[in-house]
Amino acid sequence: MDDLLKLKQFLDTKAAFYNQVSFIEKDPVSIPHLFTTKQDIEIAGLFAAVLAWGNRTSIINNCRKLMHWMDDQPYQFILHHKDTDLKGFLGFAHRTFNATDLLYFISFLQYHYSQHNSLEDAFVSGKEYKADDTREALTDFHNQFFSIEHPDRTRKHIATPVRNSACKRLNMYLRWMVRKDNKGVDFGIWTKIKPHHLVCPLDVHVARVAQRLGLLENNKSNWNNALHLTHQLRQLNPADPAIYDYALFGLGIEERF
């Protein structure tokens, strides 16, 4: 058995172990799983992904707080809230994400949903996505997100490959929205971007594991490495390379591989 086949079997086994409904409860993906309406899932997922750094319990608690402040109907709140409804948001903080950032996110989402039915349209403006990976979608989203008047400080919370960022949290968000299987974790509610376009979410933990497995030459978390890792993973599963995010994440976080 050659090394590539051995690696595929190992990662397939690990991905299958973690890609289960039991994964949801302690992961930020539990936040969009509170909802069933497409737009609610999109909005809850965006906040969960953007705030997904640091302690997972803290991430989940702060996201649940946000959803509660939005009356547990984020789409309706985004569309119809009044300025007086935002007073309670002024004390919000998660790491370096503060009330200024939060209020701009709400402002942008209201602006976007007043013109579009889905947040996917902020990533892909046309009827189909023709790029080979998510670089173009992430770049377009960054440009769309900051196309209206915005505070400069908020720019650090939406990554872009143009700055060689790995865009870990946004690639994770795209995985949630795009991947669809019968396991119940990812939603698969977007159709313009396909699973084979997805870039594996890359952070320091995943990069460390990928280097140990010989998938990366170093453990740097940047866009070039995210693309290189994804290219390697496409050799194992051309149609769905991001499924191995489960394996690499699980090995890095849960198993301290």
Taking only the tens place, the pLDDT of each residue in 185-202 is 999 999 999 999 999 999
Q: Provide the pLDDT for residue 189.
A: 98
pLDDT at site 4: 87
The three-state secondary structure class of 186 is coil
Quick one: average pLDDT of 18-32?
97
Q: For Cα atoms 12, 16, 19, give the angle at the middle one, nearest 5 degrees.
A: 130
Domain ranges of the chain: 3-254
CA distance 185 to 31: 11
Residue 130 has pLDDT above 80, yes or no: yes
Confidence of residue 1 (pLDDT cuts 50, 70, 90): low
Instruction: Provide the 3-class DSSP secondary structure of residue 245.
Output: helix
pLDDT interval class at 256 (50, 70, 90)? confident
Question: What integer is the mean pLDDT of 231-243?
Answer: 98
Are the C-beta atoms of 197 and 131 separated by less than 8 Å?
A: yes
3-state DSSP helix/strand/coil % of the chain, to nearest 5: 60, 0, 35
- Say what the pLDDT of residue 240 is: 98
Query: What is the pTM assigned to this prediction?
Result: 0.97
CA 37 to chain centre: 18
pLDDT tens for 77-88 read 999 999 999 999
* 41 C-beta neighbours (distance < 10 Å), count: 22
